C-alpha cells in the first residue's frame, strides 16, 4: 500500500499520520509490515531533544498502533470513512530497547492476536536496521462514529 491507499484507511493526517508505506499484508496470517521514514524535519524533534533528537516513545507506540489499525481495517474489509474507527486504549508488555533518531527507517510489524467484543489485540514491534526499538501488545477498541 502506498501513502494514498493508506490515507483511504487511516483517518490520521499530518503531522500524526505515521505510516509511510505497507510492504507486506498477509490477511491469512493476519500480519502486516510497514514503515515510517524518520526525518529530521519532523516537528517533534525541535523540542525532543534540542541537540540530541530522539523520536518520542509515545509516537513509536502510535506508529505501531496505526499499523495494527490498518491490519484491522483490512481484516474487516472496511475503512474509516465507512464509520468505524479503532481507538488506542492500552498496551501490555511494552518495552523500549533503543532510541529512534533522524535518518532511521522505523519498520513496523503487527500480528493479530484476538478480538473480543470489539476489543482488538495485536502483537507489535518497531525495528531499526533489524534491531528491535520497541515491542508490546497494542489494544484497540472498535468504535462506530
CB 21 within 8 A of CB 34: yes
CB 8 within 8 A of CB 74: no
User: If you average pLDDT over residues 119-142, what whole number do you get?
Assistant: 97
Residue corresponding to grid cell 490498518: 70
User: Quick count: other Cβ atoms within 10 Å of Cβ 96?
Assistant: 15
- For residue 4, pLDDT over 90 is answered with yes
* Annotated catalytic residue within 12, 48, 52, 143: 48
Domain boundaries along the sequence of the chain = 3-144
Supply the mean pLDDT for the chain: 96
CATH of 3-144, one of 2.60.40.3680, 3.10.129.10, 3.40.50.2300, 3.40.50.150: 3.10.129.10
User: If you average pLDDT over residues 89-114, what whole number do you get?
Assistant: 98
Give residue-wise pLDDT tens across range 18-73.
999 999 999 999 999 999 999 999 999 999 999 999 999 999 999 999 999 999 99
- For residue 80, pLDDT over 90 is answered with no
- pLDDT interval class at 144 (50, 70, 90): confident
Per DSSP, the chain holds a count of helices (H) and strands (E) of 2, 6
Give residue-wise pLDDT tens across range 33-48.
999 999 999 999 999 9
Q: Is 143 in the active site?
A: no
Amino acid at each position: 500500500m502506498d501513502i494514498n491507499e493508506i490515507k483511504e484507511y487511516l483517518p490520521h493526517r499530518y503531522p500524526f499520520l505515521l505510516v509511510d508505506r505497507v510492504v507486506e499484508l498477509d490477511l491469512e496470517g493476519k500480519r502486516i509490515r510497514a514503515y515510517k521514514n524518520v526525518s529530521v524535519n519532523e516537528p517533534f524533534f525541535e523540542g525532543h531533544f534540542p541537540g540530541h533528537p530522539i523520536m518520542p516513545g509515545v509516537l513509536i507506540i502510535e506508529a505501531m498502533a496505526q499499523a495494527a489499525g490498518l491490519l484491522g481495517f483490512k481484516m474487516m474489509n472496511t475503512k474509516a470513512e465507512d464509520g468505524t474507527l479503532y481507538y488506542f486504549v492500552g498496551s501490555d508488555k511494552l518495552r523500549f530497547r533503543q532510541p529512534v533518531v533522524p535518518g532511521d527507517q522505523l519498520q513496523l510489524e503487527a500480528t493479530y492476536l484476538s478480538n473480543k467484543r470489539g476489543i482488538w489485540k495485536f502483537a507489535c514491534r518497531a525495528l531499526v536496521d533489524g534491531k528491535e526499538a520497541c515491542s508490546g501488545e497494542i489494544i484497540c477498541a472498535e468504535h462506530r462514529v
